[in-house]
Chains A and B, each alone.
Chain A
Amino acid sequence: MEYVLTTDELCKNYKYCKALNRLSMHVPKGAIYGLVGRNGAGKTTLIRLICGLQEPTSGEYTLFGRKNTEKQVVASRRRMGAVIETPAVYTDMTAVENLKQQYRILGLPSFEGIKEILELVGLADTGKKKAKHFSFGMKQRLGIAIALCGDPDFLVLDEPANGLDPQGIIDIRELILKLNKERQVTVLVSSHILEELSKFATHYGFVDGGRIVKELSAKELEASCRKCMHVEVSDVRILARVLDAKGLEYSIWSENAVDIYAQIGVTELVGELLTEGCELYSITEKDESLESIYVSLVGGGGDA
């Protein structure tokens, strides 16, 4: 697998605390990587490090195949766009002027594409309104628009949903999905709400106490979340027949494993299987909500 960003035992010490403690993470190309953790877990510090705003105390990271110690990492950073904490906008300028300024800074030869970006983030009709008169959500979107000016391959968003109303959160989510699907932008997005991330992330990194406690893909998370009975039998054909007769929903995984999406009477099932000549090897119940996974990974005390 090709990775856009990997970090290797990244550490960042402030005077009295270890903000990052040997953090290793892997962001695959084309992913929407959700960085989940409580406040103060080290998410923002990590993002600041990879954007080059701070230097790591020890450890290193690789961006588009370039180590942070190499000179060419600058070229890799050019392929990145980021919004960290409060979006940096010129408050005395309109949305269009803000983007034009960013185009100049990047050295882009023409202002082509500005209208497209503003339409994408939903600020196309702000006209002469200055950024200081923007609402919080609009400023947030303008921040993202500025990050999109260089047509990045890798977009980093620090808590983009913070302080937004429900509609604003939905808009941001749609925007991220659109960028990811239609422009193949890899996105790293941090949040302390797993529920929110779970609606669009393809990969997760759980951060706690300055380290990644677990990295997993959306598929793995989903598999451990859907409430079901995982049943292993000697012959799925017979089981399928029995379940069909009961009208239960199920899906077959292999020649002897089935997931049943319903509460089943175990005794009854065993009886029916036995009369048909099918052996039951095991039943495991899978039932974990997103919340309980989150708590078991990053919650439950422990010093950050």
Chain B
Amino acid sequence: MMEIRLWVVIGIMAVVIVGLLIKLHSVRKSTREITDAFAKRLVTDTNILIDVAGRDRHVRQLAAELNVQLRKLRELRHRYVQGDVELKNAVTNISHDLRTPLTAIQGYLDLLCQEDLSEDGIRYVEMIKNRTEHMNNLTEELFRYSVLLSEEKELAKKPVVLNAALEESVAGFYAVLTERKIQPEIRMPEEKVVRLLDVSALSRVFSNLLNNALKYSDGDLLIELTKEGEIIFSNRAKELDEVQVGKLFDRFYTVEAARKSTGLGLSIAKTLVEQMEGSIAANYEEGRIKIIIFFPE
């Protein structure tokens, strides 16, 4: 009699243990699911929340609670993305809309020049013309930059010989460089360095960097190309310091506001280089600013 009772108790216990093991297993599985899902939700740009297969009340509560937080996070992300898109579009539209009246102004200025003007009048008109020209350049650059950011155009990548592309760009700037009394020195290897790049984007990067050198050089400019695909622009620039160089790639950062600059040139260069899967960096050592572009093979 005692023995039967004992067996019954053992039997019940065994059933309970098996039941609990199953429960434990399912809870474990659910928590693992939640862990995986949570980690994934945070790294992917997605709207979906955490779902669980198990029926355990506490696990579901945990998931529900996490979802509350995820919802909040999601809302913030949505607001950010929407604002960012709207801002970029607004900048593109404004810079495009500015073009039409600006061109008209320039047209009328040309007419005004043909009128009989007093000496002062001529001087003032000349001044207005200069400023308008400048404003034109600024809006043009702003427009290009915003277009670059807002539509991620597919770059047309083709094999490009870096040696030739670099030479061509520098040759185009030779006149302006000599005018500013800057003697460019170019060092490149005999062998051709070929990379898959977008020709027009590359030449834009080079010309932005050359423009930059025009602004900051104290009279020298060294352009180096290495066999590994590194392109280094360096020049002496006493006016700069390390902190300023660190900020050069920031949008709208310009060292001296008075110099005709939007501060966009280098960030355009950076965006383009990164779109072509290269890297760009700047450093400042012993009075020299060095901008290093690297296109890996």
Contact = CB atoms under 8 A, between A and B. Distances in A.
A250 B100 contact: yes
B51 A112 contact: no
Given A1-B154, A182-B78, A109 B50 contact: yes
Contact of A109 (B63, B99, B107): B63
Interface stretch (B12-20, B41-49, B163-171): B41-49
A255 to B, nearest CB: 9
Interface stretch (A16-24, A34-42, A238-246): A238-246
A236 B47 contact: no
Interface in A64-84: 78-79
B31 interface: no
A237 B106 contact: yes
26 contacts: A106-B51, A107-B52, A108-B51, A109-B51, A109-B60, A109-B64, A109-B67, A110-B64, A151-B47, A151-B49, A152-B48, A153-B45, A153-B47, A183-B47, A183-B78, A184-B78, A184-B81, A184-B82, A237-B107, A240-B107, A241-B104, A241-B110, A241-B111, A250-B100, A252-B99, A252-B100
B64 to A, nearest CB: 4
A59 interface: no
B175 interface: no
Nearest to B77: A184
Interface size class of A (residues with CB under 8 A): 20 to 34
Interface string B27-71: 000000000000000000111111111000001111110011001
B67 A237 contact: no
Contacts of B51: 106-109, 150
Interface in B76-107: 78, 81-82, 99-100, 103-104, 106-107
Interface size class of B (residues with CB under 8 A): 20 to 34
Contacts, number: 81
B297 interface: no
A185 interface: yes
Interface of A: 1, 78-79, 106-110, 112-113, 150-153, 181-185, 236-238, 240-241, 244, 250-252
B152 interface: yes
Nearest to A185: B47
Contacts of B47: 79, 151-153, 183-185
Given A151-B48, A237-B107, A112 B100 contact: no
Contacts of A153: 45-48
Nearest to A75: B40
B39 to A, nearest CB: 13
A1 B51 CA distance: 30
B107 A79 contact: no
A107 B107 contact: no
B46 A110 contact: no
Contacts of A240: 100, 103-104, 107
A79 B46 contact: yes
A251 B63 CA distance: 55
B7 interface: no
Given A107-B52, A152-B47, A181 B82 contact: yes
Contacts of A251: 99-100
